[in-house]
């Protein structure tokens, strides 16, 4: 479980997150929704140690994450697929995966086979440079690279960005399957609120750095006001 | 016997090749640091010079040649690591002029300290192999045991570096840290350690190069031993592309051969002028270097 309490993060004079308190249940998908500039990406970057908060705490199963280095947080089992996917274009598909597998003690071949079974297109393109993959394939590679490290928590930042609706639907389906089959704890940051709410158990809505809703995904999805004012979901 | 083997052209070609691999090694050590940390290390000649004094100085204590070489290389690794941690770590992300000023200052300090401790008098290093040119049919051939040793050492160092980067987990992490430090950290790579390792490797390669240069009968070991070689190695790195290890070697060897011909057929005073001309023309035609793949670099 991830417990976040009174988290405040600033960029100079601008507060990107203000007094954010929330809990993320183990083995569940928590969607973090909101418009551009709501603080969603900052929240993920603070959890994974890339950004230091001004105040507040983040606990992963009781272990504090604030002021830990990102590489140590990754080694504690937190996988972060950043916005824009962060695949290394100069590396082949397999080199990207080998890099992801660096911190696990599990045999490399076992991990690679597992990911190629989960994402067959990556197996077909294992020797290709990642720069040559399509947007959807890169997203799969970014996910596979995080998963091969066998994380217990997966932070996904806008995985649907730039993807066709059908690819987004497949991706959301995959995220849902992974979460239930591996008991993964997922924090899913999305602007595409309807896709995210379809698979999420829980949802947190951020607006200008503050939490404006924190409830079951079905409740958030049914709240007309939230849909209209914060999620831009107009019927 | 083919008279071409002992001809003036062949002699220049082989002499140029021998010099060129040394320039290539200097360029490679510059590239190793540039690729991992984006810093042009102007003290790249001086740091290995200190390591060479420390290691080869043990010859005076009756330690034999090869153990001294090993100590010098270890000293090179250590000096590179300490420099990165103490001097360079705070320079990342600062304006480009900052590391240049700091490293030029470091170069001056190291050379001054070396002169104070070991004096400026050239210290002859024993050569492990004969530097006398081979003879073919009673005529000198442009190679000696020592120059072959130089060429083989350069090939060996390049092969080890290439294998390290291409085939090992460590190499994968070194490359990833250079290309995408933030993503690497998110994947658990200890990027800080990789940057230190890049400097260690670079200084160790520089130390091997310095020993080769200082073992030359005409040079000997002095605090400024690498100044001239550094200039040509720097030009090779710029011409080949600071991002390209292969480019640095090819450019180093090419420059070595061209300058040898210039020195022999024109005038030895024209060597530096030619080197600068090569630099200027290549910067005008391909500012990112002949072997750099992309014209843009993400920083």
Q: What is the mean pLDDT of residues B35-50?
A: 91
Position B4 in a domain = no
What is the pLDDT confidence band of residue B297, given thresholds at 50, 70 and 90? very low
Q: Nearest-CA distance from B2 to chain A in Å?
A: 47
**How far is Cα A118 from Cα A140, in angstroms, rounded to an integer?**
9
What is the pLDDT confidence band of residue B203, given thresholds at 50, 70 and 90? very high
Position B254 in a domain = yes
Main-chain dihedrals φ then ψ at residue B93, nearest 5 degrees? 80, 0
Contact A102 B190 (CB under 8 A): no
Q: What is the mean pLDDT of residues B172-197?
A: 93
Closest to B185 (Cβ–Cβ): which among A71, A146, A149? A71
A173 neighbors A202 (Cβ within 8 angstroms): no
Contact B189 A86 (CB under 8 A): no
Is the Cβ of B112 closer than 8 Å to some Cβ of chain A?
A: no
- Ranges of chain A with pLDDT below 70: 233-235
Q: Nearest-CA distance from B82 to chain A in Å?
A: 22
A28 neighbors A186 (Cβ within 8 angstroms): yes
How many beta-carbon pairs below 8 A join chains A and B? 58
- The whole-chain average pLDDT of chain B stands at 90
Q: What is the pLDDT of residue B295?
A: 45
Closest to A98 (Cβ–Cβ): which among B172, B179, B182? B172
Is the Cβ of B170 closer than 8 Å to some Cβ of chain A?
A: no
Q: Nearest-CA distance from B116 to chain A in Å?
A: 42
Token readout for A173 is: 């389906």
Kindly report, residue by residue over B231-290, the tens digit of the pLDDT.
999 999 999 988 888 889 999 999 999 999 999 889 888 898 999 999 999 889 888 878
- A108: nearest CA in chain B? B169
Contact B183 A88 (CB under 8 A): yes
Nearest by Cα to B39 from B247, B207, B232, B202: B202
Q: B142 in helix, strand or coil? A: strand
Position B3 in a domain = no
pTM for the complete prediction? 0.86
Instruction: Give the residue range(s) of CATH 3.40.50.300 domains in chain A.
Output: 1-77+154-235
Q: What is the mean pLDDT of residues B116-145?
A: 87
What is the pLDDT confidence band of residue B140, given thresholds at 50, 70 and 90? confident
Position B296 in a domain = no
Q: What is the pLDDT of residue B293?
A: 63
Contact B176 A75 (CB under 8 A): no
Name residues whose C-beta falls within 8 Å of residue B133's C-beta, 6 or more positions apart in sequence: B140, B141, B142, B143, B144
Angle, CA of B226, B228 and B229, to the nearest 5°: 60
Strand-pair partners of A15: A10
Contact B173 A100 (CB under 8 A): no
Domain count, chain B: 1
Q: What is the pLDDT of residue A144?
A: 93
Kindly report, residue by residue over A35-62, the tens digit of the pLDDT.
888 899 999 999 999 999 999 999 999 9
pLDDT surpassing 60 at residue B72: yes
Q: What is the mean pLDDT of residues B76-91?
A: 95
Name residues whose C-beta falls within 8 Å of residue A144's C-beta, 6 or more positions apart in sequence: A97, A100, A115, A118, A119, A122
pLDDT surpassing 80 at residue B217: no
Contacts of B182 in chain A (CB under 8 A): 50, 70, 82, 86
ipTM comes to 0.93
- B189: nearest CA in chain A? A71
Q: Which residues of A touch B (CB under 8 A)?
A: 48-50, 69-71, 74-75, 80, 82, 86, 88, 90-91, 95, 98-100, 102-103, 145-146, 149
Q: Nearest-CA distance from A152 to chain B in Å?
A: 14
Position B88 in a domain = yes
Q: What is the mean pLDDT of residues B74-94?
A: 94
Token readout for A100 is: 């992801």
Instruction: Give the CATH number of the domain where residue B161 resides.
Output: 1.10.3470
C-alpha distances out from residue B158 to A11, B25, B32, B227, Å: 45, 8, 11, 22
Q: What is the pLDDT of residue B294?
A: 53
Q: What is the pLDDT of residue A195?
A: 87
Q: Hey, what CATH topology would domain A1-77+154-235 get?
A: Rossmann fold (3.40.50)
Contact A86 B183 (CB under 8 A): yes
Element (H, E) at A81: strand A78-81
Closest to B185 (Cβ–Cβ): which among A70, A91, A98? A70
Closest to A88 (Cβ–Cβ): which among B176, B190, B191? B176
Mutate which of B171, B175, B179, B188 to disrupt the A interface (most A C-beta within 10 Å)?
B188
Contact B186 A98 (CB under 8 A): no
Side-chain-facing half-sphere of A198: CA atoms under 13 Å: 14
A67 neighbors A47 (Cβ within 8 angstroms): no
Contact A71 B183 (CB under 8 A): no
Q: What is the pLDDT of residue B296?
A: 45
Position B8 in a domain = no
Position B77 in a domain = yes
B154 neighbors B208 (Cβ within 8 angstroms): no
Q: What is the pLDDT of residue B85?
A: 95
Mutate which of B186, B194, B296 to disrupt the A interface (most A C-beta within 10 Å)?
B186
Contacts of B184 in chain A (CB under 8 A): 99
Token readout for A212 is: 């404006």
Position B99 in a domain = yes
Query: What is the domain range of residue B213?
Result: 15-126+143-285
């Amino acid at each position: 479980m991830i417990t976040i309490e009174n988290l405040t993060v600033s960029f100079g004079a601008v507060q990107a997150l203000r007094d954010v308190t929330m809990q993320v249940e183990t083995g569940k998908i928590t969607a973090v929704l909101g418009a551009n500039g709501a603080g969603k990406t900052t929240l993920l970057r603070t959890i994974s140690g890339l950004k230091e908060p001004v105040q507040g705490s983040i606990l992963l199963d009781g272990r504090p994450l604030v002021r830990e280095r990102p590489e140590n947080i990754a080694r504690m089992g937190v996988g972060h697929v950043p916005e824009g996917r962060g695949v290394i274009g100069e590396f082949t598909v397999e080199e990207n995966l080998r890099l992801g597998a660096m911190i696990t003690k599990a045999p490399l071949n076992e991990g690679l086979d597992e990911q190629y079974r989960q994402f067959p297109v990556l197996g077909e393109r294992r020797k290709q440079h990642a720069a040559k993959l399509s947007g959807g394939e890169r997203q799969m590679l970014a996910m596979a690279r995080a998963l091969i490290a066998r994380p217990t928590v997966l932070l996904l930042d806008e995985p649907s960005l730039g993807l066709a609706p059908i690819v987004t639907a497949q991706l959301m389906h995959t995220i849902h399957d992974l979460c239930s089959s591996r008991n993964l704890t997922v924090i899913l940051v999305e602007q595409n609120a309807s896709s995210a709410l379809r698979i999420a158990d829980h949802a947190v809505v951020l607006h200008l750095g503050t939490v404006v809703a924190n409830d079951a995904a079905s409740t958030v999805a049914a709240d007309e006001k939230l849909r209209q004012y914060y999620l831009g979901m107009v019927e | 016997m083919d008279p071409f083997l002992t001809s003036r052209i062949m002699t220049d070609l082989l002499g140029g090749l021998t010099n060129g691999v040394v320039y290539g090694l200097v360029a490679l050590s510059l590239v190793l640091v540039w690729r991992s940390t984006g810093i042009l290390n102007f003290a790249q000649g001086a740091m290995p010079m200190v390591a060479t004094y420390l290691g080869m100085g043990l010859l005076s204590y009756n330690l034999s040649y090869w153990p001294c070489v090993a100590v010098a290389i270890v000293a090179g690794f250590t000096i590179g690591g300490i420099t990165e941690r103490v001097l360079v770590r705070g320079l990342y992300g600062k304006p480009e002029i900052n590391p240049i000023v700091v490293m030029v200052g470091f170069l001056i300090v190291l050379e001054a300290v070396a002169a104070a401790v070991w004096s400026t008098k050239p210290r002859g290093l024993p050569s492990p192999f004969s530097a006398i040119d081979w003879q073919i049919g009673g005529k000198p051939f442009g190679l000696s045991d020592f120059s072959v040793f130089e060429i083989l050492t350069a090939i060996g160092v390049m092969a080890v570096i290439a294998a390290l980067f291409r085939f090992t987990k460590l190499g994968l992490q070194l490359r990833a840290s250079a290309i995408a430090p933030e993503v690497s950290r998110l994947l658990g790579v200890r990027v800080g350690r990789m940057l230190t390792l890049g400097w260690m490797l670079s200084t160790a390669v520089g130390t091997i190069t310095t020993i080769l240069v200082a073992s030359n009968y005409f040079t000997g070991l002095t605090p400024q031993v690498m100044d001239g070689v550094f200039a040509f190695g720097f030009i090779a790195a710029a011409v080949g592309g600071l991002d390209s290890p292969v480019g640095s070697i090819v450019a180093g060897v090419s420059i070595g051969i061209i300058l040898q011909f210039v020195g022999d057929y024109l005038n030895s005073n024209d060597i530096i002028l030619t080197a600068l001309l090569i630099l200027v023309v290549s910067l005008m035609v391909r500012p990112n270097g002949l072997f750099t793949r992309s014209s843009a670099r993400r920083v």
